[in-house]
Amino acid sequence: MQRYLERAVLLGVLGAMAGLGIWLQVSLLEPTTDKPAPVPSHEPDYYVQQFTATGRDEVGVIYVLKAQRLVHFPDDNTSLLDNPQLVQYRAGKPIRQTTSDSGWLSGDGKEVQLKGHVEVTQYRREGDPGSVTRTERLTVQLERGG
């Protein structure tokens, strides 16, 4: 009887070790598969119709940026502009108005790139006859003094 008990204990210990070994292979030693990080998509999160933004400094308004539509992209905080119009006010200088077919506003709001039938009108002022400049692309820094 003692012999059968010893064999049963030995078989139980061997069975438990085999089960533990299989469990370790299946769950702990199996390499984890790294899932690729989700790629942020360049999909818009909102649209604004008849968009207007006003830039100011300590003296007052330095520019007004308008567009028929703004499309915002959250992954890089940039925006596309449809038919933008930029009016810049600079101390001691004539008002400058710039229009185009489309535009791109940087994520920090400091730069606007204008494309397609860009027209820059420098208004007349005493001692300055004004001017009109046309191009297909133009980059404007929207910081102080524009």
Query: Do 23 and 70 belong to one domain?
Result: no
Question: In the chain, how many H helices and how many E strands?
Answer: 1, 8
CATH classification at residue 86: 2.60.450.10
Longest C-alpha distance within the chain, in Å? 121
Q: How many domains does the chain have?
A: 2
Indicate if the pLDDT at residue 70 is higher than 90. Answer: yes
> Is residue 79 in some structural domain?
yes
146 confidence band (pLDDT: 50, 70, 90)? very low
Which residues span the domain enclosing 68? 46-141
> Is residue 87 in some structural domain?
yes
Name the 3-class secondary structure at 19.
Answer: helix
Higher-confidence position of 22 and 47: 47
Q: Give the integer Cα–Cα distance in Å for 91 and 9.
A: 96
> Is residue 41 in some structural domain?
no
Query: Do 73 and 108 belong to one domain?
Result: yes
Residue 15 pLDDT: 81
Query: Do 129 and 82 belong to one domain?
Result: yes
Phi first, then psi: what are they for 108, rounded to 5°? -90, 0
Higher-confidence position of 15 and 55: 55
